[in-house]
Amino acid sequence: MDADEDIEFGRIALAWGWAAREVLTRALAWQRANAPQRRLSDVLVQGGVLTPEQVARIAAEQRRRRTARGPRGADEPPAAPWTPLAPQSPPHGVAGWAGAADLAAAPPGVGTAVAMGPTPRPEDEDPLLGAVLGGCFVNARLGAGAMATVYLAWHGELRKDVVIKVLSHEHTKVARTVERFRREASAMARVEHPNVVMVFDLGTTPDGRPFTVMQYVDGQDLDKRMKAQGRLAPEEAARLVLEVARGLEAAHAKGVIHRDVKPENIMLTSGGTAKVTDFGLAKDTTMAPVTMDGAIIGTPLYMAPEIGGKAPIDARVDVYSLGLTFYYLLTGVEPMREFSAHDVLFKAAHGKLRPPEDHLPGLPAAHRRVLGRMLARERDDRYPDMAAAARDLEALLRGAPVDAPEPTLWPAAPGAGADTASVAPAAPPRPRRPHPAPATTLSSRQLLALGAAAAVVLALGAFVVLAIVAWL
């Protein structure tokens, strides 16, 4: 095997952004130590780093370069030798790649003689890139937050892409946070439903951080979809909210209350299916509570008004949060953003939400009624559970009557009470016979002036009468 071809293959894959530097170096080191007779491309395909189609394109680029440069030595020096680095221990419990070397890269069309490669990005130095966690080969880092880092990985047994969520070093030191992280994984693993992101495994990294292996969703979250394209048609909004409601109904049946339902925690697949994710703030009613009663848990812009109160919460907090999400999908406006932080946190805003028709004139009356019941300030006025909300949402899609009454949250809208898909224009009024104009109501000042004028007239009349009598 030509080692220089493997080096050039790695350079192209790195330059085209198809593989991280650290992943390639580990792959090459593993190949040389364990399977020197195999090509680097075969190792990368087996590990799920590259697809056969990507390998074919890189091979075509290699052939083009060979044709352009002619026989080796004519206009290009041999490939630069590898710079060995300190050997690395195999990933915990799995015989993984060890050792490292340097890969340089050049963008397509640039001679390899001057290709020194891009400066490694910070994420390329992540020790988990190229590692094996729970039988999954870690390919790339998708993102990082204050709590955890999320990676794209390849599950060798399932032969599919997965997501691995790893708790940060700082939060691993907090026992309560670690417990909540594990509870999230446990809660999601118990809920098996097409509209909930699945959890496949829970484990610990070699440096002691807990991680979960989850379903990879090829798509984007609902908030990104809204920011990119704006409000949805009423039927599409009802369809997505119905799918979320069904996923949450399955979670509630397992004793799991999400407590953080919002567009950012709803994933949309490339086929348009909604999936609930991120149960990090969920309340598992089958286990002892982690937080004390009355704690404010959730995202303020999507929290139900009873959260933080004295009474224990139930699944109706998710009904309310899903109602705020429904409002956003229908109107393109997050209703709580119109209020101050004080009003939101101290529950003054929840009874003052603007009618949705202020943002979307002509909103179907049935959609308005379902939305109003989901957003009732008093939880006893909401749907009693997510199953009841799902039935009305399904009725919206079928064009059937809904159970939700006219909402008391807003003034009655034109066409209120109609269950039709859209509000029909009002019929012109029938002609009526003219009525006499109503009597004019006089003010006290006008009455006083009239009284004075009448007194003057009477006085003049009396004077005239006396003058006539005297003349006679």
The residue ranges of every structural domain in the chain are 3-123, 126-216, 218-423
Mean pLDDT over residues 211-222, rounded?
94
Residue-wise pLDDT tens digits, 328-358: 999 999 999 988 888 887 777 888 899 999 9
pLDDT score at 305: 92
pLDDT score at 244: 98
The answer on pLDDT for 272 being more than 70 is yes
Q: CATH homologous superfamily of domain 218-423?
A: Transferase(Phosphotransferase) domain 1 (1.10.510.10)
Residue type, position 430, single letter: R
150 dihedral zone (left: phi>0; alpha: psi -120 to 50; beta): beta
- E strands along 219-348, which residues? 219-221, 256-257, 266-269, 274-276, 283-284
User: How far apart are alpha carbons 53 and 70 in whole angstroms?
Assistant: 26
Mean pLDDT over residues 439-448, rounded?
47
292 dihedral zone (left: phi>0; alpha: psi -120 to 50; beta): beta
pLDDT score at 6: 85
User: b or e along 280-314 (b: 16 or more beta carbons within 10 Å of the residue's beta carbon)?
Assistant: bbbbbeeeeeeeeeeeebbbebbbbbbbbeeeebb
Q: Active-site residue among 260, 278, 284, 392?
A: 260
Average predicted confidence (pLDDT) for the chain: 78
pLDDT score at 126: 82
380 is catalytic: no
User: How far apart are alpha carbons 184 and 251 in whole angstroms?
Assistant: 12
* Domains 126-216 and 218-423 agree in fold: no
Cβ-contact 237, 260 below 8 angstroms:
no
User: Which pLDDT band, with edges at 50, 70 and 90, does 59 fall under?
Assistant: confident
User: Which pLDDT band, with edges at 50, 70 and 90, does 441 fall under?
Assistant: very low
DSSP letters for 316-330 = HHHHHHHHHHHHHHH
Level-2 CATH architecture, domain 126-216: 2-Layer Sandwich (3.30)
- What's this model's pTM, rounded to 2 decimal places? 0.66
Residue-wise pLDDT tens digits, 455-471: 554 555 554 444 433 44
pLDDT score at 72: 54
Classify residue 333 by burial, with Cβ atoms within 10 Å: 0-12, 13-18, 19+: middle
Residue with tokens 């004519």: 74
The answer on pLDDT for 416 being more than 60 is no
Residue with tokens 């003349």: 471
